[in-house]
Amino acid sequence: MSDDTVDQETAKWDPAFTEQVGKLVSPIVRRYFRAEVRGLDNMPATGGALVVSNHSGGMLTPDVLIFAPEFYRRFGYDRPLYTLAHYGVFIGPLDGMLRRLGVIEASRENAAAALHSGAVVLVFPGGDYDSYRPTFEQTAIDFDGRTGYIRTALETGVPLVPTVSIGGQETQLFLTRGNWLAKRLGLTKARMDILPVTVGVPFGLSVLLPPNLPLPAKIVTEVLEPIDIVAKFGPYPDIDEVDAHVRSVMSAALKRLARQRRLPILG
């Protein structure tokens, strides 16, 4: 990817459009999920930062729709928030709109360009693998072995900001990622490693499609204390050690939030 292409990716963010969409969508999402975003005081006040979060809710994940408006409410629209996403989400009519909202293709180059510009970048290392984790494992942090986020933070010199969200796996019943099913059907040859099986409304049992509509589960997102990788692990850290630490911090926070919930869905 050329430098010009990378620059074009980040330049497509439209703060005025992002604000308009946020004012329209945020009140609906916030009320529907009774959403809370806690700990924004932990976010570095200025400069680049890599926000590393678990991903929840399957295909219709509300994660960004909950976090982004609260981020902008706190820091304003002169501080961009870019979200890394798989190139597949840009296929179709939403392509232009997503890019104007600050969604950029997930690559080390795009992330580095955004971070070097002083922006905040939101990454979900676990992707679909994480968002389809079984409901009864909702406090588990499993990025499927992906550690590129650590190298990106090291190369750009920005802090990692672990962030966790709970409640998304209660928007329907996630039974299994279906790794075994995808393999059995030969879908792994097409780079499709999961075939999730869920139960929800209105379609009942669903094997990836059609996607059930999310139930109004209470969702709480919490920003945790930043991690300066070099300060904690030295200039040449063991990547796997850093990843294990990040995931353990996030898992402990999720378990704490889970203990505060009284009932599924109701929160």
Q: What is the pLDDT of residues 37-57, one digit of tens each?
A: 999 999 999 999 999 999 999
Q: Which of 166, 162, 160 is nearest to 221 (CA)?
A: 166
State the average pLDDT for the chain: 94
Ramachandran region, residue 131 (left: φ > 0; alpha: ψ -120 to 50; beta: rest): alpha
Up-side HSE of residue 63: CA atoms within 13 Å toward CB? 28
How many other C-beta atoms are found inside a 10 Å radius of the C-beta of residue 256?
A: 13
pLDDT score at 34: 98
Q: Is the pLDDT of residue 229 over 70?
A: yes
CA distance 140 to 144: 12
Task: For residue 153, give both structure tokens.
Answer: 């933070």
pLDDT score at 186: 87
Architecture of the CATH domain 3-171+215-259: 3-Layer(aba) Sandwich (3.40)
Is residue 219 a contact partner of residue 35, using CB atoms and an 8 Å limit? yes
**Confidence tier at 243 by pLDDT (50, 70, 90):** very high
pLDDT score at 184: 86
- Note the pLDDT tens digit of each residue in 135-152: 999 999 999 999 999 999
The burial of 215, by beta-carbon neighbours within 10 Å (0-12 exposed, 13-18 middle, 19 or more buried), is given as middle
Q: Is the pLDDT of residue 6 over 70?
A: no
Cα 121 to chain center, whole Å? 10
How many other C-beta atoms are found inside a 10 Å radius of the C-beta of residue 121?
A: 31
- Note the pLDDT tens digit of each residue in 162-194: 999 999 999 999 999 999 888 888 888 777 899
**Confidence tier at 70 by pLDDT (50, 70, 90):** very high
Range(s) for CATH 3.40.1130 in the chain? 3-171+215-259
Q: To the nearest whole percent, how much of the chain has pLDDT over 70?
A: 97
pLDDT score at 255: 97
**Confidence tier at 1 by pLDDT (50, 70, 90):** low
**Confidence tier at 90 by pLDDT (50, 70, 90):** confident
Up-side HSE of residue 145: CA atoms within 13 Å toward CB? 0
**Confidence tier at 4 by pLDDT (50, 70, 90):** low
